[in-house]
């Protein structure tokens, strides 16, 4: 994949499994990026907790609760959670089904 971000190779997360590309949007506590999953050979959305909240245990706990809730839900109007990582060495992130429909607003 030849994606580059601002003249440099895009970051990889998940031991290189996911290549992070364009920013799709930012929220109050996390950002969502377009990502390529090398293992599953598919595009996905990668939601990562903002760096300023990495040491905030309450935000990390709520992010993990979001992953837990998404893992139990199955509905056409709710994006599917593919993968979740809450490793202390990197920002926690969720890998979600990529839904191409425009802004939720």
Is 1 exposed, middle or buried (CB count within 10 Å of its CB: 0-12, 13-18, 19+)?
exposed
CB atoms within 10 A of CB 23: 11
Q: Quick one: pLDDT at residue 5? A: 43
Structure confidence by residue, pLDDT tens digits, 23-61: 999 999 999 999 999 999 999 999 999 989 989 999 999
- pLDDT exceeds cutoff 80 at 75: yes
Spatial separation of the C-alpha atoms in residues 104 and 16, rounded to whole Å: 30
pLDDT of amino acid 37: 95
- The pLDDT value given to residue 4: 45
Residue 72, pLDDT above cutoff 60:
yes
pTM of the model: 0.83
Per-residue pLDDT at 80: 95
- Please, what is the average pLDDT of the chain? 85
pLDDT of 15 reads: 78
- The whole-number pLDDT of residue 84 equals 93
15 or 78, which is more confident?
78
């Amino acid at each position: 994949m030849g994606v580059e971000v601002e003249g440099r190779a895009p970051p990889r997360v998940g031991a290189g499994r996911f290549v992070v590309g364009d920013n799709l949007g930012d929220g109050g506590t996390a950002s969502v990026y377009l990502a390529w999953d090398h293992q599953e050979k598919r595009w996905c959305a990668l939601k990562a907790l903002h760096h300023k909240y990495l040491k905030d245990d309450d935000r990390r706990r709520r992010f993990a609760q979001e992953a837990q809730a998404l893992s139990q839900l199955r509905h056409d109007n709710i994006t599917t959670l593919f993968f979740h990582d809450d490793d202390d060495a990197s920002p926690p992130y969720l890998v979600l089904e990529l839904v191409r429909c425009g802004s939720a607003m």
